[in-house]
Structure 1
Amino acid sequence: MAPVDPLITEETTTDVAGTPEKEEETPQLRPAFLAYSGFLSDCLAANGDSRTTSSIQFLSTAVKKEPCMLGIDEAGRGPVLGPMLYASAVASTGKIEALRGMGLADSKQLTEEKREELLEKMLANSEWIAYSIHSISPMEITEKMLSSTKISLNVISQNSAIGLIHSALDQDVNLTEVYVDTVGKAETYQAYLQSLFPKIKITVESKADATYPIVSAASIFAKVTRDRLLARWPKAGRGVIPPNTPLGSGYPGGMSICFLFKDSHAV
């Protein structure tokens, strides 16, 4: 979890009896939400171990007490480079029209420039919309999928989503609605989540990022973060990729697949 920014300050007032009375803390946030929180704590600690970073702590108590919705989506499922990122977006249910007004849509259907523009809009409204991002390292995915118990990628993904919901609840967000882009069979996944969170209205659908603005917001957080991380990849000191090598989106596309078939050796 990202540390609380030191720009958060406490102010006090004095009541008629002369006793200091603490006011609610008010975030003092700079443009683009402090350069996207130090670009998520320096590229999620240089893309090392799996970790979660969040801006939910910057939401005021008043916002957290309102009925809130949370959307979840991912980027980097089955990557060649970089982690798989699961992101959640949290906002008051009363902000649904504000989200629609931003023009949010499935990140994969938008240009890179439009995704960046939408991210900047959300960061400029960080007093009412927050994110949490769970980075799952390739090493963790590999270890779990090849372990004796063989944890599937679907289960890894579902556990990440569950963790993001718990993260919001643990920070006292009054979650009343959760929307998730499905992995696996939507009906089964929804029933499972509903059993874990019986007091929350759970909706799991395929292409939820194209239907629900709060999932679209999560999709933008996940996709732009992963794209920015990959853009910095050659500068990360890994010594295996020549400078200025085009990386694409880090998925196993045609060039990657051809390379693997050409240079693989039988075991």
Structure 2
Amino acid sequence: MDNQEESANITSFIPPSIHSSTLLAGDSYAHYSPCPSAIIPSSYSISSSDLTEPTPCVLGVDEAGRGPVLGPMVYSAFYLPLPLHHSLLAKEHHFDDSKVLTSAVRSNLMRLLCTRDSSLHTSCGWAVKVLSARDIGAGMLRQATGNYNLNAQAMDTTIEIIRGIVEERRVNVKEVYIDTIGNPQTYQKKLERIFPALTITVAKKADSLYPCVSAASVCAKVTRDVALEICYEALVKQQNSGAKGESASEGWGSGYPSDSKCVGWLKNDMDTLFGWGNECRFSWGTARELLESKIGLKVDWPVEEEEEAQRLTDFFTVSASGPGNNEEANGLRDWYGKRSQEIF
């Protein structure tokens, strides 16, 4: 399993949601835990021997890393049997909004969740979708097919991980709680149209109100923090090997634009031509402004109209209405695709 790669200097627990090679390649990916033993999923079978009722479950969704200029945004879904929702998460293990828990507490909760035979491991399932900085930026900056803004990416990710649990893994989810993006009512109505069989609640500060959302926020936060550490350690290793002429600066902080350490790293470790690597969201104003100020000019990428776009083969085709069209067209057709020795 590649979650141990590039981990020599990582001090916190490395969860199985860290796929290092995919992460360092700048690609997005999803990770689903096995269905826990305490949960009986819905069965595809209708045979008389398979009449066990599926376990009714509650599911929470939250994210980490929406605002940073560095590193991925991570969405997480967390589910468990409905009767255990408050007793196991809130009373026994004291889950809360990940922002009010210390790094050590979050890491320990994640470790317990991944430890065989622990009450969390046997009763709870979870999933994450890691949206890479590169893919976030590419979506927000794309022109031809329209801007794919962060809210739209977040909504699609939420839908994907709920479907992955409810439809693909057949978990009998009854109630869903989600920390909102924008207006809670608008967000909730859209999800209710997509999942009409689920009772969905979208609310502000849901990670403080509903334990399953708190647990999802912990999974997302731990995954995001370790991912950021691994990206930095890989960069330091690359720089120290001589791949770049300058040595790495001392850390890049939290990755948020408001973090002076992050901004300092962006300024000091920026290539004047390429900027940064897969770890940076080039669509963020912080990155764009630094690039423009460093290079000294602003670059606008012209967008060709669709009718002006040409395929490669168009250059080897002559219009039927043109003079001498048949002979010339046949000549181009015969030439295109031949080896050079056959032409001459």
TM-score by length of 2: 0.62
Q: CA deviation at 1:63?
A: 3.5
Q: CA deviation at 1:44?
A: 4.8
Change (3 A) 1:43 1:93: farther
Asked whether the 8 Å contact 1:73–1:222 carries over to 2, the reply is yes
For residue 71 of structure 2, the aligned residue among 74, 82, 94 is: 82
Please list every run of 5 or more consecutive structure 1 residues that lacks an aligned counterpart in the other structure.
4-33
Asked whether the 8 Å contact 2:20–2:230 carries over to 1, the reply is no
1:85-127 CA-partner distances (Å, limit 9, x unpaired): 1111111112111111211111011211121122223223222
Amino acid at match of 1:163: E
Q: CA deviation at 1:69?
A: 1.2
Change (3 A) 1:98 1:47: farther
Q: Distance in 2 between matches of 1:183 and 1:41?
A: 27
Q: Which residue of 2 aligns with 1:11?
A: none
The residue matched to 1:140 in structure 2 has which SS? Answer: helix
Q: CA deviation at 1:235?
A: 2.3
Deviates more, 1:204-213 or 1:110-119: 110-119
Say whether residues 1:167 and 2:181 are aligned partners. no
The answer to which structure has the higher strand fraction is: 1
Please list every run of 5 or more consecutive structure 2 residues that lacks an aligned counterpart in the other structure.
3-12, 42-53, 268-285, 299-344
Asked whether the 8 Å contact 1:234–1:242 carries over to 2, the reply is no
Q: Which residue of 2 aligns with 1:156?
A: 153
For residue 72 of structure 1, the aligned residue among 37, 48, 61 is: 61
Q: CA deviation at 1:41?
A: 3.0
Q: Which residue of 1 aligns with 2:29?
A: 51
Q: Distance in 2 between matches of 1:200 and 1:220?
A: 24
1:100-155 CA-partner distances (Å, limit 9, x unpaired): 12111110112111211222232232221111110111222122212231121101
Q: Which residue of 2 aligns with 1:248?
A: 253
Change (3 A) 1:47 1:127: farther
Q: Distance in 2 between matches of 1:244 and 1:146?
A: 28
Q: CA deviation at 1:61?
A: 7.8
Amino acid at match of 1:249: S
The residue matched to 2:219 in structure 1 has which SS? Answer: helix
Asked whether the 8 Å contact 2:178–2:203 carries over to 1, the reply is yes
Q: How many residue pairs end up in the alignment? A: 234
1:13-62 CA-partner distances (Å, limit 9, x unpaired): xxxxxxxxxxxxxxxxxxxxx9633x53337543521110110x342384
Structure having the higher Rg? 2
Q: Distance in 1 between matches of 2:194 and 2:263?
A: 39
Q: CA deviation at 1:177?
A: 0.8
Identity %, equivalent residues: 34
Q: CA deviation at 1:243?
A: 4.9
Q: CA deviation at 1:194?
A: 0.7
Change (3 A) 1:60 1:219: same
Amino acid at match of 2:88: A
Asked whether the 8 Å contact 2:38–2:122 carries over to 1, the reply is no
Deviates more, 1:140-149 or 1:39-48: 39-48
Asked whether the 8 Å contact 1:43–1:229 carries over to 2, the reply is no
Q: CA deviation at 1:183?
A: 0.6
For residue 207 of structure 1, the aligned residue among 188, 202, 205 is: 205
Say whether residues 1:60 and 2:37 are aligned partners. yes
Q: Which residue of 2 aligns with 1:22?
A: none
TM-score by length of 1: 0.79
Say whether residues 1:136 and 2:136 are aligned partners. no
Q: Distance in 2 between matches of 1:115 and 1:78?
A: 20
Amino acid at match of 2:81: S
Q: CA deviation at 1:78?
A: 3.0
Amino acid at match of 2:63: E
